[in-house]
Structure 1
């Protein structure tokens, strides 16, 4: 014979507790639609501003690096020696700036699969 369980909240043995189904007055079993709606995501303005600054800086660096490599700008004599590091830095800064601006643009247009939640928030 198994020992009887006791309801810890009331101290009543489980054999004495009667279970009954709650009455259902609505077909949705007590759930309301508001429970399942998400609040609109907060727009991360600081992150979008940082992505814009990164995008502008990288655009400037890529243009300067390209002009150095082509020889339109020559200061000193090491055209390719100066151009390669500028291009590498410009491309490395371009990637996150463009990526986050693209997500922000697509989220603002309401495209499916894009949300402001995909952009890291800088308010942490």
Structure 2
């Protein structure tokens, strides 16, 4: 039992270190704001509401996607700050999740587009999360 607790605590420490590392790489206030929300707000509507209120926008998903693209995508101004390679497909999945789609609907979208065999491994990975 102690080993399990120690392993869990070790994962917590590694995760905290990663979060600190991410924050240290971000200097643009909107990026830091979104990272803080993603680490601390676990309700989609509250997260998007916070973005909408703080930036006086009626398009919080579009704004959050722009920030994620800047932080994790290949842009000239912000070249993959977090070293998390998010391509257009990954950003689209994130966008759909912010719109309220669940894992089942995302798998259905991929199945329709790429076929059952192509997403079998993806389905296992997503269900493990």
Q: TM-score, normalised by structure 2?
A: 0.22
Larger relative contact order (Cα-Cα within 8 Å, sequence gap ≥ 6): 1
Q: Which has the larger helix fraction? A: 2
CA radius of gyration, larger in = 1
Q: TM-score, normalised by structure 1?
A: 0.23
